Amino acid sequence: FLSKKTYKSHCALHTVGRQPCHKCLQLGLNLDKKFTSNSLRAHDKRFHAVGGIYQCSEVGCDSVYETPAHLRRHEIDQHSVSKETKFMCSICQHFFPSNFQLSSHMDSCQAGRSRTLVRQQMADCLTWQGKGVYSCNMCGDKR
């Protein structure tokens, strides 16, 4: 899909049965986000799978968490991390704690390889085909 608008229009075809992530709700994250059953499984695997090592990037903080979701909750609660204090990608609207991380991200985002924010949501039901084209994992439609 070449734009967020065409992506959203296409996803409207697949919105039946959307549900919240109960693990995120318990953590107070993604309160208004809803998932199809396939995208909920992908989200759960990406954000709630235990076993990773996710270290807080705040200077002087040695906290380590097993899931990205628990690290995010820590950052919000302990370091007052908010979208206003970060650097935002103009392509996918994902926020980064430093300009260096944003710069590193921009190359992959411009090439369509980034799985942050909108692209994360898209990746749950879309597969990158290259040259600005995605295919829908549910129906195979390419745009």
Q: What pLDDT score does 82 carry?
A: 61
Give the predicted TM-score (pTM) of the model.
Answer: 0.42
Do the Cβ atoms of 35 and 120 come closer than 8 Å?
Answer: no
Mean pLDDT by 10 residues, the chain (143 residues): 76 69 84 80 82 83 86 78 64 70 78 60 69 76 74
Q: What pLDDT score does 60 carry?
A: 85
Q: What pLDDT score does 69 carry?
A: 83
Question: In this structure, what DSSP letter does residue 142 have?
Answer: B
- β-strand pairing of 126-130 with 133-136: antiparallel
Block residue for tokens 């040695």? 62
Q: Give the SS3 label for residue 97.
A: coil
Query: For residue 59, how many other CB atoms are within 10 A of its CB?
Result: 6
Give the Cα separation of 6 and 1 in Å (integer). Answer: 6
The amino acid occupying position 70 is H
Q: What pLDDT score does 67 carry?
A: 84
Question: In this structure, what DSSP letter does residue 19 have?
Answer: B
Q: What pLDDT score does 103 carry?
A: 79
Find all residues with CB under 8 Å of 103, minimum gap 6, and list them: none
Query: Across-strand partners of 55?
Result: 64
Q: What pLDDT score does 27 carry?
A: 81
Give the Cα separation of 122 and 97 in Å (integer). Answer: 23
Give the Cα separation of 84 and 130 in Å (integer). Answer: 33
Q: What pLDDT score does 47 carry?
A: 81
Q: What pLDDT score does 12 carry?
A: 67
Q: What pLDDT score does 45 carry?
A: 81
Q: What pLDDT score does 123 carry?
A: 60
